[in-house]
Amino acid sequence: MRVLLLGGTAEARALAAELNPDVTVVSSLAGRVPDPALPVGAVRIGGFGGVDGLRRWLRDEGVDAVVDATHPFAARITANAARACREEELPHVVLARPAWPPGDAIVVGSDVEAANVVARNHYARVFLTTGRSGSAAFAGVDAWFLIRAVTAPDDVELPPRHHLLLSRGPYRYADERKLLEEHRIDALVTKNSGGDMTRDKVTAAEDLGIPVIMVQRPGLPDDVRAVPTVADAAAWVRAL
C-alpha cells in the first residue's frame, strides 16, 4: 500500500513513524521552511502545480490513499487535495487536530481583522505569533511587536517597531509566561492552530490577564472526512 502524507506538522511526523514499515508512506513538505524537521521514510519537497499537477503525481506514483496532515491554516493544499482525490476516486482523510476553545479571546476571521483590533484598542506591546506571512497585516499598526516565527519573513513588510524572535516549538508554560512578562506584553495575537505545542502561550496570557486576539481557522472542504488524532488516522489507513 502506498500513501501520500501531506505533512509538515508534528502529527504528520508521528503518523509516518506509526505506519512505518508496514505502509509505504511518502511525506510531502511544502518547502517554505529551510532545514525542516523530517519524518521517517521517503520525503518529497515542493508544490505539485495545483490540482491537475497533484492528480498527475498521484497517478504516476501509484498512490492508493492520501492523508492530509498539514497545518490547519494550509487551506489551499487541503482544498486541492480534497478535489484531486475526489476526481481520482482515491480514499482521503484529513488529520485535523482539535481547535482550542476560544475562552475569552477576541475571535477574528483574518490577520487583517486582528490588526484592526490591535489598532482600535491601542495596544502598545504585542506578541505576534501568526507566522511570517501573517506579519504583513500589522505593518501599518502603531505598536511595538515581538514577532515569533520559525524563519525570518521574506519580502514581507514588517511593523516599523518590532523585534524578531526566531524559534521552533514546542513551547512550555513557564517560558511563555516569562517571555510575556519580560517584554511587558499587553496583547497576544495568535492563530487557532490547536494542539499542545503552542497552547501554553494562550494559557499564560490568560493567567496574566493579557487580551488574546485569536484568528479562527478556515473550514474544511465539504464532504471531507476528518479525524482528530494520529491514532485515528493510522487506524483509518490500516482499515483500507
pLDDT tens digits, one per residue of 144-155: 999 999 888 777
User: Which range of residues forms the domain containing residue 180?
Assistant: 106-215
pLDDT exceeds 90 at position 156: no
The answer to whether 27 touches 16, Cβ cutoff 8 Å, is yes
pTM: 0.91
β-bridge pairing 92-95 and 2-6: unpaired
In Å, how far are 11, 18, 43, 217 from 25, measured between CA atoms? Answer: 14, 10, 9, 27
CATH value at residue 111: 3.40.50.720
Which H/E stretch holds residue 76? helix 75-88
Identify whether residues 11 and 46 lie together within a single domain: yes
Give the tens place of pLDDT for each residue, 51-99: 999 999 999 999 999 999 999 999 999 999 999 999 999 999 999 999 9
Residue 168: band (very low, low, confident or very high) from pLDDT cuts 50, 70, 90: confident
If phi over 0 gives left and psi between -120 and 50 gives alpha, with beta otherwise, what is residue 173? alpha
Domain count across the chain: 2
Same domain for 56 and 147, yes or no, is: no
Residue 117 and residue 71 share a domain: no
